[in-house]
Amino acid sequence: DDASIGRRLASPYYTDQGMRLMASHCKDPATEASGVATVLLESREHAIKALFSRHFVHGSFEEAHLGVLTVVIFFLTLLAYGCSIPAGLFIPNIMCGACFGRLVGQLIQKLVEPSVHPGVYALMGATGMLAGFSRMTVSLGVIVLEITSDTRLLLPIMLVIMAAKLIGDIFTPSAYDIIIALKNIPILEQPDESRGWQEMAKHPVTLCGTKRRDMEVIHASSGLTSHDAMKMLSNTQHNAWPVLESPMHGRLLGLVTRQRLLANLEGEGT
């Protein structure tokens, strides 16, 4: 009847470690649990605990199911976050990374070393996924370490975070930066060092907007006396002067600001 079908679809199963699993279409619901139902039908909290658990019912997470869950959660996260609905990326990325990490851990356990814990690989996968989309480093390491309460995992956690961040920075900005750019949200960018005077000095610079004879410059070969500095400060109103290599070779070496000239003159006066 409908009641028995409902019980089979959503019948919770508790392990000795307090993990709540879902016995959905299992041959023996008393001893088996469905990993797919646990991840998709249970609450996010119980699903993440089940994926991170080192003590789990044998066969509850099959490798094929974990691969399907990784792909499904990844694309559903993209679809949900692209829509105008209140949805986040933090928990879905934890689950997607945990499914992929547990898949790798179970394959290593089956093919290489039976003593490994797939739950640890699930934790590392979730950490790498979070670091890849957010590009957080120290703060993310603290969050993950608080979740595990196991200081022995500090080194692998930091290695995974740094590897994910470095690889991600090679290809694209963080997911949040991409979303800000797509929505055309105004944001104060980091200073572009490539537009500084150090970069300008590597290339020929053409003076525009004023006559060359009207532009006060400083020649590094001849230097600048206190009298000349006072004259430049009193006759001009701008806040910086270019420093050229010599009158004959006008290669730009840098800029001297008004504040720096005033500070030097005050130092000489004292």
Note the pLDDT tens digit of each residue in 191-220.
555 555 555 555 555 555 555 555 677 777
- Residue 3 pLDDT: 38
1 occurs within a structural domain: no
- Residue 4 pLDDT: 39
- Residue 125 pLDDT: 92
Same domain, 168 and 44: yes
Same domain, 236 and 146: no
At 17, the pLDDT band (50, 70, 90 cuts) reads very low
Same domain, 176 and 256: no
Q: What is the average per-residue pLDDT within 165-185?
A: 86
Asked whether residue 85 carries a pLDDT value surpassing 60, the answer given is: yes
Window from 32-36, 65-69, 92-96, 263-267 with minimum mean pLDDT: 32-36
207 occurs within a structural domain: no
CATH number of the CATH domain containing 69: 1.10.3080.10
Same domain, 262 and 179: no
Range of the domain at 228: 213-268
pTM: predicted TM-score of the whole model, two decimal places: 0.59
126 occurs within a structural domain: yes
Q: What is the average per-residue pLDDT within 42-71?
A: 77
69 occurs within a structural domain: yes
- Predicted confidence (pLDDT) per residue in 244-257, tens digit: 777 666 677 778 88
143 occurs within a structural domain: yes
In this prediction, what percent of the chain has a pLDDT beyond 90? 11
CATH number of the CATH domain containing 247: 3.10.580.20
Asked whether residue 1 carries a pLDDT value surpassing 50, the answer given is: no
Mean pLDDT across the chain, nearest whole number?
75
246 occurs within a structural domain: yes
Quick one: three-class SS letters along the chain? CHHHHHHHHCCEEECCCCCEEECCCCCCCCCCCEHHHHHHHCCHHHHHHHHHCCCCCCCCCCHHHHHHHHHHHHHHHHHHHHCCCCCCCHHHHHHHHHHHHHHHHHHHHHHCCCCCCHHHHHHHHHHHHHHHHHCCCHHHHHHHHHHHCCHHHHHHHHHHHHHHHHHHHHHCCCHHHHHHHHCCCCCCCCCCHHHCHHHHCCCCCCCCCCCHHHCCCEECCCCCCHHHHHHHHHHCCCCEEEEECCCCCCCEEEEEEHHHHHHHHHHHHC
8 occurs within a structural domain: no
Asked whether residue 115 carries a pLDDT value surpassing 80, the answer given is: yes
- Residue 164 pLDDT: 93
Based on the structure, what is the number of domains in the chain? 2
233 occurs within a structural domain: yes
Q: Please say which residue of 145, 162, 183 terminates a domain.
A: 183
Same domain, 177 and 53: yes
Same domain, 25 and 82: yes
Asked whether residue 24 carries a pLDDT value surpassing 70, the answer given is: no
